[in-house]
Structure 1
């Protein structure tokens, strides 16, 4: 009578487990792409968005004493590239081409006028005003007109996005877009246009009140 000896099951090597897991991930990614391409399947496995945000809370109220006299629309193309020092771009590195559109307002602060800045003659027919020069407000990026044209990422960056709370973040290119828009506004004639519009507004207002001569000047 012979007895059979059971052989212990062979254990899969560690490197084989890693390859199997990687193959499974690639298979799932490929299957997701195939499902997104097939008609009708996308709607079956699609996602829905639900806005469960709470009500907006009023934190503070500020009285505005400035006159927004002009507004400029700007657009800039940002090409931001980040490279690793010792790795090729295919492994580690990103490059984003981003179109940023936004506005910059130019205003005159009328709240800083003092008694010496406004003079009126005795019969109220002549008025002289001395105003501070126009200033630029902060650039405001328009999300509806700003978008990423292309994004190139290395393999390690793509893997990192899987574990990131904010994958494909565009904060860096958005900050650069705001910076370039602000620089373009400084180089433009937006403040000069704001002062011209402010002068026209004040002259029209005071003349409608009976003043025949209205002079508006700006601090040197």
Structure 2
């Protein structure tokens, strides 16, 4: 007489289901899927921002003797790619497209003008001024007009961003943007425009004081 075979139903215990669900959630996170991909989920876990920054402290005051005579606005698209040897880009690597918008000022340092650089005739109708050449200030990025167009990162880079909140994640492309804007300013005629504007300003000022002839030269 044969014994009938009973099929035993093995159901997954409750704790195993919970563990499986947790693993699935972690896999979704590790794959780089953002909450914003799921409609309405961001609103469900909405966050509030509170500014608890303390008062700004005045560290120093410096007298400025330069005349800002011209300002140039620049824009550059930075394409920064980082690769890792022996690993595909899908695993480790990044590429960022960043639009950097900034400005560079050109100025003449009037504080370097010595007494012998200014010559006035006896009847105070003619004046000759010898000024230093115009210089370029530091390039500054406009945070309101600078932004990342796209960011492509490998799986390991995404995991690193998930486990660490790095406020300097765009620091590399920002530095490159400043570098390229500075180079563009040097190749432009910004300093020449600054010297022209400074000359016109001084001639207008001295003419209003009664000087009939004003000559402005530049040199080291």
> TM bucket by the smaller chain?
0.7 to 0.9
Distance 2:168 2:114 in 1: 51
Shift of 1:81: 0.2
Taking a change above 3 Å as real, the CA distance of residues 35 and 206 of structure 1, as seen in their structure-2 partners, is: closer
Contact 2:131 2:217 in 1 (8 A): yes
SS at match of 2:68: strand
Look up the match of 2:46: 46
Q: In the aligned structure 2, how far is the partner of 1:105 from the partner of 1:158?
A: 38
Shift of 1:164: 1.7
Matched, 1:216 2:216: yes
1:15-94 matches, within 5 Å, as: 22-27=23-28, 37-39=38-40, 41-94=41-94
Structure 1 residue runs of 4 or more that deviate by more than 4 Å after TM superposition? 18-22, 27-30, 32-36
Q: What RMSD, in angstroms, separates the aligned Cα atoms of the two structures?
A: 2.3
Contact 2:35–2:42 under 8 Å retained in 1: no
**Do the aligned residues in 2 keep the contact of 1:161 with 1:167 (CA within 8 Å)?**
no
| Number of positions where the alignment pairs a residue of Structure 1 with one of Structure 2 | 201
Q: TM-score normalized by structure 2? A: 0.85
Specify the alignment match of 1:203 in structure 2: 203
Normalized against structure 1, the TM-score is what?
A: 0.85
Contact persistence 1:106–1:136 (CA under 8 A) = yes
Quote the Cα distance in structure 1 between the aligned partners of 2:189 and 2:144.
26
Q: Can you give the 5+ residue segments of structure 2 that lack an aligned partner in the other structure?
A: 1-18
Instruction: Give SS of 2:103's match.
Output: strand
